[in-house]
Amino acid sequence: MTVAAAPAPPRGSSVDREQSMALAFLAPSLLFLLLAFVTPLVLLLGVSVSGRSGLSLESYAKLLGTGYYLNVIWNSLRLALLTTILALAIAYPAAFALARARGMVRTALLSCLFLPLAASVIVKAFAWTILLRSDGIVNRILIALHVIDAPIRMIFTETALVVGSVNIFLPFMVLPIYAVVTQLDRRLMEAAATLGAPPVAAFLKIVVPLTMPGVIAGVALVFSLAVSAYVVPTLLIGELYPTLASTIAKAYLLARDPQFGAAAGVVLLIIAIIVVTLSARLAGRENDR
Amino acid sequence: MSPPDAPHLVVRQVSKRFGAAHVLDRVDLTIAHGELVTLLGPSGCGKTTLLRMIAGLESPDFGAIELAGRDITRVPPHRRNVGFVFQSYALFPHLTVYGNVAFGLKSRGRTRGDIDAAVKRALSLVHLEHLGARRIAALSGGQQQRVALARAIAVEPEVLLFDEALSALDRKLREEMQVELRLLLREIGATAIFVTHDQDEALTMSDRVAVMFAGRIEQVAEPRVVYARPASLFTLGFVGLSTRIPGTVAASGEGRVEVDTAIGRLSAIGNFIVGAPVILAVRPEHLRPAAAPSGNCASGRVRSIVFHGANSLIEIEAVAETTLLAQTANDASAHLKVGDATRLCWPVAETFAFPDPGAGA
């Protein structure tokens, strides 16, 4: 096989022009982000390293050096990981169902996906506590059906936490995958079939790689949201499962230790940045292939 | 072209309905090994459905399809060994040119060396051997078309199926590809079916043309026969141009009819009972300005002249709102001008009579 020459680059002038146009369009949002996002972040970074007597890394040492806080970080990661995996497992087929649906069915399915976004996350988390508490609907139904004799503990378990978290963040996984699936040319599957690929092989070799950008985007979104979730763990499991987000809240609201809170915030941010950067890299590679 | 010998592909009484509409209505078609056949017809005539059925992408309600002696009516597409070239090419955008062409070979579990050799051969047949590492998005439309072709022929399928495969190319490139593709298919001895609504493509590419209309095959014949001896009024109208004159049969016998028309009594080929309403038709190249009248003749005035390079198409207004269409060579002689009076004659042997579909209704 010969190595192909690189395609001729477009003329320089038009590229320059395009880039300056793009920059002009981006300017308002860049300015906004600078004021509303970068400035507070710089302040946060400053607070996280300023102790009572000047520069100090003790908050980071405490976070990364104590078993309790390492466990807190692990809790956040674990919740994010479980939520992401489960959400992906549910969202991937759902996105295809959504893309295949037509007319009223499609509208109904899309509404099911979008409408919950209009309800506050607090409302949804409370709804789960009502469903799952010991005299809640799920326990009553199970008892009425004689599946169980006495109420089982569902609320304040990790299962409840993950179920609630998946429910709340699911739309953020479905939508990017759905967007990619609707772009998928069905002829590609037919082409694979006429070339001798059985349906499963065609799916793995054609559909999976082509939907990967949507999967990566969904994973990045849901992971970032779940790793920093505050309301969901607080309401569905509480003190049993301290997370980075709840640690930040406690540091600011109860312990009045802004340095520690800021440090925890920076750690959370770094985790999110790593995930998003990795995803962007992966997505870029997918597009380059 | 040799006459069809052992049938390679047999379509037997294939029917398909979508709701109340007959997409295909008891279609029969037999294709010999190495034959190039075109399914020609307007959109909605069922030609693409028939092609997709041969590939296994649609299934017939009734009827059977046999390929290379095997009944494949209920065989899924991936076990049929057909090659399909899609109108949109349907190349895999995440794979390279090489990856696309190798796909079918990998699916068949060939060894690495076999795959490499087959991909190289296929790419060199379409003159793209130097572009194996190229991404699909970095190719021109014509190159993508070639990759689609290479991908389909790399697996050496029993039959190659082309669904309007050339229609996305611009005219000049399309005409070049028609000739090149025909040579290539001959070279590899492929059996191929083209679907097109483009009569020029059908006449250029194929050993035989199957003209389809409303879910039925109207005529299957060599291109010159389809053109010169159309079996139905539909074929006559769909392939090539013609003058049409309605009339009533006045006398009939020995394969010839005498027909009374608005421009006088004309003779034609056909068997009809006296009094039958018919439509007479003649191709424009048979109409000639005649010094000594012979065969059928009519007088009129030139209404328009359309210049086509080597020849011109002339519309002549005869009596009773009858328009004659003549094609004349643009040599130095006999230049007609718009408004000129002229008399045209044409041979009886090139005048066909068809039953008038409008008269009985």
Give the model confidence (pLDDT) of B184-200 as tens digits: 999 999 999 999 988 88
Q: Does A10 touch chain B (CB under 8 A)?
A: no
Q: Where are the beta strands (DSSP E) in chain A?
A: 50-51, 54-55
Does pLDDT of A2 surpass 50? no
CA distance A22 to A257: 43
What is the ipTM for the molecules in this complex?
Answer: 0.84
pLDDT recorded at residue B99? 95
Q: Which A residues, 217 through 236, put their C-beta within 8 Å of a C-beta on chain B?
A: none
Closest CB to B78 among A188, A198, A206: A198
CB proximity B162 to A under 8 Å = no
What stretch of H or E contains A94? helix A67-100
Per CB-CB distance under 8 Å, the chain A contacts of B155 are: 195-196
SS3 per-residue string spanning chain B: CCCCCCEEEEEEEEEEEECCEEEEEEEEEEEECCCEEEEECCCCCCHHHHHHHHHCCCCCCEEEEEECCEECCCCCHHHCCEEEECCCCCCCCCCEHHHHHHHHHHHCCCCHHHHHHHHHHHHHHCCCHHHCCCEHHHCCHHHHHHHHHHHHHHCCCCEEEEECCCCCCCHHHHHHHHHHHHHHHHHCCCCEEEEECCHHHHHHHCCEEEEEECCEEEEEECHHHHHHCCCCHHHHHHCCCCEEEEEEEEEEECCEEEEEECCEEEEEECCCCCCCEEEEEECHHHCEECCCCCCEEEEEEEEEEEECCCEEEEEEEECCCCEEEEEEECCCCCCCCCCCEEEEEECHHHCEEEECCCCCC
CB contact under 8 A, A193 and B57: yes
Q: What is the pLDDT of residues B150-189, one digit of tens each?
A: 999 999 999 999 999 888 888 888 888 888 999 999 999 9
Calculate how close chain A gets to B255, using CA atoms only, in Å.
Answer: 48
Please answer yes or no on whether B107 and A197 come within 8 Å at the CB atom.
yes
pLDDT value of residue A288: 54
Q: Of B58, B81, B92, which to mutate for an interface test with A (greatest number of A Cβ within 10 Å)?
A: B92
Distance CA B361, CA B359 (A): 6
Q: Using CB atoms, which residue from A7, A194, A202 is nearest to B82?
A: A194
CA distance A122 to chain B (A): 42
Cβ of B77 and A193 within 8 Å?
A: yes
Q: Is A194 on the interface with B (CB under 8 A)?
A: yes
Q: Which pTM value belongs to this model?
A: 0.82
Tell me which of B67, B72, B78 to substitute to probe the interface with A (most A C-beta atoms closer than 10 Å): B78
Residue A289 to residue B135, Cβ atoms within 8 A: yes
Domains of chain B and any CATH numbers: 9-237 (3.40.50.300), 243-355 (2.40.50.140)
Residue matched to tokens 């608005």 = B262
Residues of B in Cβ contact (< 8 Å) with A1: 98, 116, 119-120, 132-133
Strands B192-196 and B36-40: parallel
How close, in Å, is residue B205 to chain A by CA atoms?
23
**How many angstroms separate the CA of residue B217 from the nearest CA in chain A?**
25
Contact (Cβ atoms closer than 8 angstroms) between residue B144 and residue B151: no
pLDDT at A145: 92
- Best CA proximity match to A210, nearest among A193, A187, A230, A185: A185
State the nearest Cα–Cα gap between A98 and chain B, in angstroms: 23
The CATH code of domain A58-288 reads 1.10.3720.10
The pLDDT value recorded for residue B333 is 57
- Chain B nearest C-alpha distance from A110 (Å): 28
Per-residue confidence (pLDDT) for residue A284, from 0 to 100: 74
**What averages of pLDDT result for each successive group of 10 residues across chain B (361 residues)?**
68 91 92 94 91 95 94 94 94 95 94 94 92 92 93 94 88 88 91 92 91 92 92 89 89 85 86 88 87 79 86 85 85 73 87 80 42
What mean pLDDT comes out for the span A252-281?
A: 91
Residues A94, A99, A105, A111, CA torsion sign: positive
A289 CB near a chain B CB, below 8 Å?
A: yes
Task: For residue range B77-99, list pLDDT tens digits in order.
Answer: 999 999 999 999 999 999 999 99
Please say whether the beta carbons of A45 and A266 come within 8 A: yes
Residue A188 to residue B84, Cβ atoms within 8 A? no
Domain ranges of chain A: 58-288
